[in-house]
Structures are given as C-alpha cells and as structure tokens.
Structure 1
Amino acid sequence: MAGAVDLSALKNRAEASRSGTGPPASGGGDRSSGGANSWVVDVTEATFQSEVVERSMQVPVVVDLWADWCQPCKQLSPILERLAQQDGGRWVLAKIDVDANQRIPQLFGVQSLPTVIAVAGGQPVEAFAGAQPEAQIRQWLDSVLDAQRDQLPGIRAAEQAAGEQEEAEDPRFTAAEEALERGDYSTAEAAYRKILDAEPNNEQAKAALAQVQFTARAENADPSAIERADTAPDDVDAQLAASEAELAAQQVESAFDRLVRTVKRTSGDERNRVREHLIEMFELFPEGDQRVATARRNLASALF
C-alpha cells in the first residue's frame, strides 16, 4: 500500500508494551467518539494498555495517530470512523492525538502524520502513512481481517452477530426503507400503514410513519410561509405551514414556540388541531430531547 511504513521497530516496541513496560499512565480516561456502542474510541497514554493492547487480543485495533494541525489527518480520520462503524465491531478504531499523548508516537517510532497502525494480539501487524483513498483503505482493512480471523476470536463473533441481525430484519420494514431511500414517500407510507393495520401498537412503525410524512411535507415546505404567518398570527393554517417550514430548516425551537403561542391564542377545535400537530412534531425526535421536553412544559402551561 502506498505510504507503507517499516514495522520492524514497531514490533520491537510493542513487545515491551505487551510485557508491561509500555506508556505509563498519566491520568484521564478514554472518550468514545460515537457513543456507548461505538467502535471508535479516543485513546490516551492512560488508556493505551486497555484500549489498544488488551482489546487487540480479541479484534484488530487500528490506531489512527493524528494532530489538529495535520490537514491530511482531517481527510483520513472521517473515512476510518465511517468504516469502523460500518464494520460493527470486527475491528476497533483507536484515535490518538499525538500532541496530547507524545509517548505513544515515540513508542511506535512514528516519523510523519497521519500514520495508521493495525495492532493484533498485542503487536503491530500492518501500517501505512499518509491519507489514502477510501477504496484502498477498505482493501487494507480487509487484508488485516483476513489475516487475523483465525487468530482473534472477536472477528468471527462480530461477523456472526451481524449475520444474525440481518436475518432478524423484518422484510416489511426493509421494503419501506428501500422506498424511502428512493424518495418514494407514498409507497413507504403505505408500507408502514400496512404494518400498523396488522400491529396497531408497533411503535417502530408509528415513529417511522411520522418521519416519512414529515419528510414528504418538508420537501415541499415553502420558506415564505414563515413571513406570511408572521403577518397573520390568527391564521391557524398559516401558523401550521410556517412551523413545518421552520422544522424543515432545522429551526426546531422556533417551530415549537410558534405552535405553543398559537395554542394560547386559539380555543376549541382549532386549539386541539394545533396541539395535535405539535405532538406529532414531538414524535419526530428521540426520547430525552431537551427541546421537546421544554416545549412539552410550555404546551402544558398554555393549555392549563
């Protein structure tokens, strides 16, 4: 692979790390770059032993050595992160800021950035330097996985888990999602409605249907609806259209506030219509979203 680096010095240093003479702890902890279930982890000198050496006994750990001043790093790192998430645990990406953790690049004898090193069984096995095209990185990763599959049990375990998940996928949802990807909102909506006809309490289908309906409306949202609504505060239809336009423009709080104000100004069927529309908007967001929590409190105050 273009930009390959000499691994002989790396392996010698890794043997020292494996025997317990690796980088000493310096305090701090690891920071996952993608959440609790992520396969992308920020590593420090304090967590190098556990996150790189020990984890590499189960799956390959791909070490991404980067720095904020390194422009090629900013091109390479997002590719590695995306591939790590796609592979779902077949390997782990360990991101290391060399400026904050200077002993680690010294351990590997790194001469330039970015440098990427695959560690397996506690030892570096492959490496390359410099930004690379995604297709070439994919080929490099596949070669690492193929070489280590019989040595590291975590690779096959992750592949088996991914296969079981694929088999467990509901074909009804798959068909709806494929329609959505094509932009065929009517077919996707019909597919989700069919699921709900058979399973009225299917929360996944309910949430997906709401998303499809909003996405279809958002594509046709008229930005000028906001200005028109601002000049006609008592026009319920105008306020609803404006809230859709604001939500489509990622102005979430503005959309919520607009409808809460409209609830305060209306009564009877009109108030109920606005309230229901606002609640439908809430359902587009994940549980625990603070913007929704705030808007729910404001709605309750407006109603009572």
Structure 2
Amino acid sequence: MQPRNMSMSGVVDLAAVKAAGEAKAKAEAARAETARQGDGGAVSPSALVIDVTEASFEQDVLQRSAEVPVVLDFWAEWCEPCKQLSPLLERLAVEANGRFVLAKIDVDANQMLMQQFGIQGIPAVFAVVAGQALPLFQGAVPEQQIRETLAQLVQVAEERFGLTGIAVDAEASAGPLESEGAAGAPAGPYDALLEAAVDALDAGDLGGAVQAYKNVLADDPGNSEARLGLAQAELLQRVAEMDPQAVRQAAAEDPADVQAQIAAADLDLAGGHVQDSFGRLVETVRRTAGEERETVRLRLLQLFEVIGGDDPRVTQARTALARVLF
C-alpha cells in the first residue's frame, strides 16, 4: 500500500485532484457568464500589447515568456512598412485573446536590443518562448502568412513548453461534451470516470487510475481534472518501485547523472518538496545540453502539470527555466 501512503501524505493529495478540477470549472463558468454579458471573456488589450524598453526587457519579455509566448515587433516611427505591420500585429494579438503577448520595441530608443537580436532592417518580428528567441519574419509579409506563423508559434509553445497563454476564451477551451452544461464542467459520464480514477488511486491501483484518466482525455483533451490526475498518477507510478535511499544517494554522488537527478526530483515532489524538485531539475537543465537537456526539460514540464500552472511555485520555476535556457 506504499503508493496510497504517498498519495495521502505527500504533495499528491487525492482530494486536491477533484478540488482543482472543480475550481477550474467554476472559473471557466464565470468566464462564460462574462461572455454572455457581452465582453466575450476577452483579455484587456492593454495586457496584450505592451511597449518594451531595454530596462524592462528582462521582466516584460524574458520573465513573461515563461508563462506565455511573447512576440517582439521591432519598429520605428520613420519606417513606412512598420505602419502597415504594427496595427495588424496588434489586431491579431487581441484576436488571440491571451495566447501570446505583443511587445513593441522602438529601435531608435533601444538600439542595444536591436544589436543583440542581430537585426539588419525593420520591420522585424521575433518571438521569445520560455526564454528562447525565435526569428519569425522580416519585412512586409501577407496577413495569411503572419496568421499561420503565429498559429504555429502558439502550437509549439503549448506542445513543447506547456505554455497555454494568460487567457483562453470559454468557447476555445470547451471540450466535446461541455455544451451540455457550464463551460469547463465535465458531463455526467466524466464525473463517474473521474471518481473511479480517484478511487483507484486511493486503493493503490495506479495502472487503473492512469488508464481511467487517459480514457477521459481521449474524448476530452482539455479536461483539466483528468490532466492533473493523470500527471499525479504517473508520478506515483514512477516512484512506487523506487528505493528512496538509493535514489537520493545516486543523485548526491553524481550530479551529472541526468536519470538520477530526474528520479530524485520525482521523489522530492511526491514527498511534498516542490521547490526542491523544481530547483533540482532547473539546475540540471543549466548543466546539460542537447538530448539530455531536452529530457530534463520535458520531465520538469510534466511535474508542473502535477502542481498546476496557476501555482506560484510553478510560475517561479518557469521563470528560472527561461533564464537558464536563454
């Protein structure tokens, strides 16, 4: 019954799985109600389009990119093509409703940033995702091509970095069956499956819980309760057969052993030591490169799922990750 003990005494609190899902459903239901009242659940444009300077770049771009993709628009008052492109980018940022933030940089006032990005001419558009700079396009580009590029950016940010943006409208986040009730609330059949998964976890049937959550996600990939539960069940499954003393000894003896550090981070998180777990993997990312770095980064993103993206410890760790990746 070791898995059950871990789940009840550590960070992986089974009751928290359902509570997190219910909180998410209430938040999305409130957003849907706001939409019905007329503003569409939209994020304020002032939060989506910002002016950035060299002094504010680290906070407004690097740190923010740990939570949401940041698109950089390098422009100048004298640049005629910029006068065509900048309003278009602003409109697309508002349409995206928080899936990315547009940061406008006046190159005349911020020439150091222009040099750091190696810009030879404007307009030039880059993105920063989790601290990594990505060139998007330069010069006059057709609107459809810009839309496709930004859609690919958002997809990469979600799939590779786990960044889902600062806001998602209720319609976009709704699952296949959510139209029958409040936005974000699972339908009746999902309630039964999710309750069965929690019961399986509590009984130590980790394989059964994992499969139950996967069954829900197969029909409803956006189901927040199932995603959280799956991340927690998989964590418990990984640590169930570990010898904690041996794992920690291996990690202490060889800081360069990636698999040892990953295993120790899993144990840290299962035991409730959230910041120790995240800090260990961020430091391992800093020391590694290539495939090893990618392996560690992906495990860290999985552990973010266990805690939930709204937790301030996750936000702090995302910022730290962005710094070591940039």
TM-score normalized by the length of structure 1:
0.43
TM-score, normalising length: structure 2: 0.40
Greater relative contact order: 1 or 2 (C-alpha under 8 angstroms, separation 6 or more)?
Answer: 2
Larger radius of gyration: 1
